[in-house]
Amino acid sequence: MKAPQSPVVIIGVFLSLTVALYTIGVWLIFRLSSATPLMLSVGLAAILTCLLTRTNLRGLGWHWGPWKFHGLSYFLPLGYAAVAYGLIWASGVGGWYDSAFVLEQKESYNLGTWSNAAVIAFHFLMTATVSFVLLLPSVLGEELGWRGLLVPELSKLMPFTGVALVSGMLWAVWHWPLMFMGLYGSEATPFIYQLVCFTLCIVSMSIIMTYFRLKTNSLWPAVIFHMSHNVFLQKFFGPITTEKDNSAWFLGEFGAVVPAILLVLATFYWRKGSSEFGKTQT
């Protein structure tokens, strides 16, 4: 039986393929006006890496894992998004709710006779179910690479803190070119401010998702967490908030509030992860 490849080799091949496929993914953004191929490219890089290095594809974490972590992965992003935007609305830096957005949803859902409150509730329900499920292909594509392959291989080389921070920074840096090109982010705040807030957000998410991945040995909690984060911030809380003059400094992944709350949660999971996975995994 052939000895397994070194984690260093596997990680090197994966990162090389990720960079190569990234250029194709970015090109397709301009051709198709969709980021889905770019997200899928990370998963393709992971699968090709397994084939080239003769690494078992089962190691990507396909088994379902404990149900309680799936529930936690779904409701935790909903919880911190609700807290973040509750603070934003209460403080007045953003308003509840954007009547133009609600009117747009009335027309989109063909619910012209419904009250605004009923339309908001219906849109939340659709966001939490249909929109959530529709994110699965693209998010699974990303997570196959970052949490499916990269996290387990890094855990063979370093303890929890290193795994979470290295994988988180690589994940953040993967987004940076999109921000440099103006495809991702806000035009209302300085670029460096957005970069800091976004990177803090992504690395904090990585700490939580790394813990879930190592705790369950399953890819799916990270997939669900990522889907929940994206759908509630991007499809509900962000669009429904009325923006004011300085709102961009506080809203979403590129503002201060969501990353700050995530940092608190990440500190909690960093302590748990450091205690439970303080040594390299074999």
In a domain, 47, yes or no: no
In a domain, 20, yes or no: no
User: What's the pLDDT score for residue 223?
Assistant: 98
In a domain, 244, yes or no: yes
In a domain, 178, yes or no: yes
Average pLDDT estimate for 72-80: 98
Arithmetic mean of pLDDT over the chain: 95
Q: Do residues 59 and 219 lie in contact, with contact meaning Cβ atoms separated by under 8 Å?
A: no
Beta-carbon contacts of 190 under 8 Å, excluding residues fewer than 6 positions away, are: none
User: What's the pLDDT score for residue 34?
Assistant: 85
User: What's the pLDDT score for residue 1?
Assistant: 44
The band of 33, judged by pLDDT with boundaries at 50, 70 and 90, is confident
In a domain, 17, yes or no: no
* Of residues 77 and 32, more confidently modeled: 77
The band of 195, judged by pLDDT with boundaries at 50, 70 and 90, is very high
Q: How many Cα atoms occupy the beta-carbon half-sphere of 93 within 13 Å? A: 17
Give me the number of domains the chain comprises: 1
In a domain, 86, yes or no: yes
DSSP per position, 10-74: HHHHHHHHHHHHHHHHHHHHHHHS-SHHHHHHHHHHHHHHHHHHT--GGGGT-S---HHHHHHHH
In a domain, 154, yes or no: yes
Q: Please check the confidence at residue 146 and state whether its pLDDT lies above 80.
A: yes
Q: Which tokens sit at 233?
A: 């911030």
In a domain, 18, yes or no: no
The rounded distance, in Å, linking the Cα atoms of 115 and 249 is 31
Residue 168's domain spans which residues?
61-276
